Structure 1
Amino acid sequence: MARKIGSRYTAHRILGRGSAGTVWLGEGPDGPVALKLLREDLASDQDLAERFVQERSALLGLDHPRIVGVHDLVVDGNDLALVMQLVRGTDLRTRLEHERRLAPEAAVAIAADVAEALAAAHAAGIVHRDVKPENVLLDALSMEGPGGAPPALLTDFGVAKLIDSPSRTRATSIIGTPDYLAPEIVEGLPPRAAVDIYALATVLYELLAGFTPFGGGHPGAVLRRHVTESVAPLPGIPDELWQLIHQCLAKAPASRLRAPELAARLRELLPAVAGIPPLDIDEQSEDGYEAEQPDAAAERSGAAGADAAAVTGAHAASAEGPPAGAVPLVHGGAGPDANRDTHTSMRVPGADELAGGAHGTARAPRASGEPRAGSARNRSGVPVPVQRRRLKVGAAAVLVALVVAVGGWLASSDEETGSQPSPAAEYSSR
C-alpha cells in the first residue's frame, strides 16, 4: 500500500529491511527513488532529527559514480527518511549467500570500486563507519567488469554518524557491526578514515575465503579478536594480494593504506588474479568442529562430557548462507548470538577482557583436504582430544599389566623360598 513521505515522495513497496530502518521503492518529482525510512524509535529522537538537518549538505554533496547518491533528507512528523538513488540489482551479501565466495578477480574488482567510493568520501571529510557486504550494491543494469563483477556502489553513508549520539549510546557502547570493526573502535578511539580501510579489507578477505577473519561466536569475543589476534593468511592467492590485505588489517591505523592508494593497488593487481578460480578452502562445520570420519565422530560423541563444546556465531543472513568462519571458537555456554545487522550497539570490552587471551593468530584457512596444524585434528586425521583419551587408556592398561606381572613374580618367589608371611602381613590379613 502506498504511503506519502513528506510532500514530494510516495513509497510504494518494501525493497528490504535493516536494523536501522526499511528501504522502500518510491517515486519522486524526478522519477523512481529508494526511500530509507528510519525506525520509529529513531525518528522520534529530536536530536537525531536535528542532526539530519545539520548533515544534509554534507550527504547531498557526495557525488561519485561508486556512491549511492543521497538526493534528499525528509523530516516530516514521525518520518525521517533518506531519499537515495535507486540501484537495480542486489547487495553483495545476497551474492555471497548464493556463491559462498567469489573468484579473486571479481572480489578485487568489487573491492577496488568500494575503495574509490571511500576515497571520494574521505576527501570530503566523511567516514562511512559501517562498510560491509550489506552496504555494497551491485548494479545489474550496467556492463560487467573484470571477472564478471557488476559495478559496485557503496550506500548508507552518514547513517552510522547520525545514529551515534551521546543520548543514544553510552561511552561504553559501540556502534557498528562486530565482524568489520577496526581495533581502535573497540578500544574506544574516535573513528577516522582508517576504520573504513580495515572494514573493506575484511570484506575482501570474506569475498575470497567465504568467512571473515575474526568473526564467529559471541560479539564480545569477536571484538577481542580484532584487538588481540593477527590475521591468518589465505592460501591460493598471489603474495602481492595477501600482503595488501595484511597491511590494511594492521592493528595500527597509521600502518594501513589510504583509500586512493588502496584503489590504485587493487586495480594494478587485477591482471595477476585474472582466471584464478574461487579458492577451495576448508572451513569449520556448522557445529564448530571440523569434519571427522564416522568412527572418530562416534568416539568423540561418546565422551562429550569430557570435552568442552565449541560455540560458533550464527550470524549468516539465511539458513543457506555461509558458515560463520574458520576462526578461534568461543568455548563455554555462550549462545550463537553474533549478528551483522547495521548499527548494532555493543558493550565495549574492558581492558582485562581485551587482555584476556594471548596475542595469537586466528585459525588459519587451508586448501581443501590439507590438515590444519594446532586445530581439532592433527596430521594423523584423529582429533587431538580423541588421541589424548587413547593415550590415557593405553597408559592405564600398561600400568595394570605391570602390577599383575610384579605380583605374579613376588608370589612365585615366595613359593620357591618357602618364606613365611611377616607378622604385619598376618595382622593385615585378619
Structure 2
Amino acid sequence: MARKIGSRYTANQILGRGSAGTVWLGEGPDGPVAIKMLREDLASDQELVGRFVQERTALLGLEHPHIVTVRDLVVDGNDLALVMDIVRGTDLRTRLDRERRLAPEAAAAIVADVADGLAAAHAAGVVHRDVKPENILLDMRGPLGPGGAHPALLTDFGVAKLIDSPRRTRATKIIGTPDYLAPEIVEGLPPRAAVDIYALATVLYELLAGFTPFGGGHPGAVLRRHVTETVVPLPGIPEELWQLIVQCLAKGPASRLRASELAARLREQLPALAGIPPLEVDEPDPEAAPEEPPAPLPADEPVRRRGAVSLVPGPKPDSNRDTHTSMRVPAPDELAGGAHGTARAPRPSGAPRPGSARHRAAARRRRVTLTVAALLLAAAAGYGIWTTTTDDTPPQQTQTTSTP
C-alpha cells in the first residue's frame, strides 16, 4: 500500500527490513528512489531528530561512484527517512549466502570499490562505523569488473552515528556489529576512520574464507577475541594478499592502511589473483577450542549465535540480519582472556574435524605407529623401554636383550 513521505515522495513497496528501519521502493520528483524509514520509536526521539537535521549537510554531500548517494532527509511528523538512489541488485550478504566464498580476484575487486568509497567519506570527515556485507550493495546493471565482480556501493552512511546518541547508548555501550568491530571500539575509544578499515578487512577475510576471523559463539566472546587474539592464516591464500589483510586487522589503529592505500594495493594485486579459484577451507569447529564463559550481559539482551543484538528496546527485530548491537563495554580484566577464546585455526578442506570420529581414529593410528616404531628401535639397540597401549590399561615395562 502506497504512503506519502513528506511532500515530495511516495513509498510504494517494501524492499527490506532491519533493526533500524524499513527500506521502501518509492517515487520522487526525479524518478525511482530508495526510502529508508527509521523506526517509529526512533522518529519520536526528539534528540535523535535534532541530530538527524544536524547531519543533513554532511550526508547529502557524500557523492561517489561507490557510495549510495543520499538525496534527501525527510522529517515529517512521525516520519524520519533517508531518501537514497536506488541500486538495482542485491547486497553482498545475499551473494555470500548463495556462494559461501568468492574467488580472490572478485573479492579483492569488491573490497577495492568499497575502499574507494570510504576514502571519499573519510576525506569529508565521515566515518561509516558499520561496514559489513549487509551494507554493501552490488549493482547488477553495472559493468563487470575483475573476476566478474559487479560494482560495489557502500550504503547506510550516517545511520550508526545518528542512532548513537549519548542518552541512548551512554558511555558503557557499543554501537556496531560484533564480528566487524575494531578493538579500539571494544575498549571504549571513539571511532575514527581506522575502524572502517578494520571492518572492511574483516569483510575481505569473510569473502575469502566464508566466515569472519573472530566470529562464532557468544557476542561477548567475539568482542574479546578482537582485542586479545591474532588472526589465523587461511590455507592457500596468496602471501601478498594475506599480509595486506594482517596489516589492516592490526590491533593498533595507526598500523592500518588508509582507505585510499588499501584500494590501491588491492588493485595492484588483481592481475596476480586472476584465475585463482575460491579457497578450499572449512569453517572451524566452534567446539574444538572451548572458551571461558564471557561476562554476563544485561538480562534483557538476547543471546544469538554469530548474530547481532537489537540496538534499541521495542518491537522484535523484523530481520534476521540486525544492523547493530548494543552491549556494555567489557572491563580490562574481562578482556584479558589469554589463550582462552583463541581464534580457531581454519581446517584445510577434507581434514577431519577436531573431536570427530575420524579425528580420534587418526590419533589412534598415530599412537600405534609411534609405539611400533619405538619397539623396533629398542629391539635393534638392545635397550629397555616403556611402551603404552592405545586403550586405558596402565603402561608396562618391556626388557629386550641381544645376543653377544
* Percent identity for Structure 1 against Structure 2: 77
1:277 equivalent in alignment to 2:245: no
Shift of 1:238: 1.2
Shift of 1:339: 1.2
Q: Residues of 2 paired with 1:187 and 1:331: CA distance? A: 19
- Residue of structure 2 in register with 1:24 after alignment: 24
SS state of the match for residue 25, structure 2? strand
Shift of 1:393: 8.8
Please list the CA deviations of residues 178-234 of structure 1 after superposition, one character each: whole Å capped at 9, or x if unmatched.
000000000000000000000000000000000000000111000000000000011
Shift of 1:349: 1.3
Q: Partner letter of residue 47 of structure 1? A: E
1:348 equivalent in alignment to 2:316: no
TM-score, scaled relative to structure 2: 0.83
- Residue of structure 2 in register with 1:363 after alignment: 344
- Residue of structure 1 in register with 2:202 after alignment: 202
Shift of 1:41: 1.1
Q: Partner letter of residue 171 of structure 2? A: A
1:103 equivalent in alignment to 2:100: no
Q: Partner letter of residue 78 of structure 2? A: N
TM-score, scaled relative to structure 1: 0.78
| Bigger Rg over Cα | 1
- 8 Å CA contact 2:291–2:341 kept in 1: the answer is no
Q: How does 1:133-152 map to 2 (within 5 A)?
A: 133-152=133-152
Shift of 1:337: 4.0
1:247 equivalent in alignment to 2:247: yes
Shift of 1:356: 2.8
- 8 Å CA contact 1:232–1:361 kept in 2: the answer is no
Mean Cα deviation higher: 183-192 or 349-358: 349-358
Q: How does 1:99-248 map to 2 (within 5 A)?
A: 99-248=99-248
SS state of the match for residue 207, structure 1? helix
SS state of the match for residue 102, structure 1? coil
Shift of 1:348: 1.3
CA gap 1:73/1:231 in 2 versus in 1, 3 angstroms: same
Q: Partner letter of residue 349 of structure 2? A: S
Q: Partner letter of residue 76 of structure 1? A: D
- 8 Å CA contact 2:177–2:325 kept in 1: the answer is yes
Q: Residues of 1 paired with 2:304 and 2:9: CA distance? A: 40
Shift of 1:369: 2.4
Q: Partner letter of residue 68 of structure 1? A: V
Mean Cα deviation higher: 376-385 or 162-171: 376-385
Q: Residues of 1 paired with 2:289 and 2:269: CA distance? A: 30
Q: Residues of 1 paired with 2:231 and 2:87: CA distance? A: 34
- 8 Å CA contact 1:247–1:255 kept in 2: the answer is yes
- Residue of structure 1 in register with 2:300 after alignment: none
SS state of the match for residue 111, structure 2? helix
Q: How does 1:279-318 map to 2 (within 5 A)?
A: 279-284=279-284, 288=286, 310=287
State the number of aligned residues. 357
Shift of 1:332: 6.2
Shift of 1:237: 1.9
Please list the CA deviations of residues 264-297 of structure 1 after superposition, one character each: whole Å capped at 9, or x if unmatched.
0000010111001111102246xx4xxxxxxxxx
Q: Residues of 2 paired with 1:151 and 1:239: CA distance? A: 26
1:339 maps to which of 307, 312, 323: 307
Shift of 1:384: 7.5
Aligned-residue RMSD, C-alpha: 2.7
SS state of the match for residue 160, structure 1? helix
- 8 Å CA contact 1:129–1:160 kept in 2: the answer is yes
Q: Partner letter of residue 368 of structure 1? A: S
SS state of the match for residue 112, structure 2? helix
CA gap 1:380/1:14 in 2 versus in 1, 3 angstroms: closer
Please list the CA deviations of residues 75-127 of structure 1 after superposition, one character each: whole Å capped at 9, or x if unmatched.
01111000001000000000000000001110000000000000000000000
CA gap 1:336/1:359 in 2 versus in 1, 3 angstroms: closer
Gaps of 5+ in 2: 297-302, 309-321, 368-387, 398-404
Q: Residues of 1 paired with 2:259 and 2:85: CA distance? A: 23
- 8 Å CA contact 1:91–1:138 kept in 2: the answer is yes
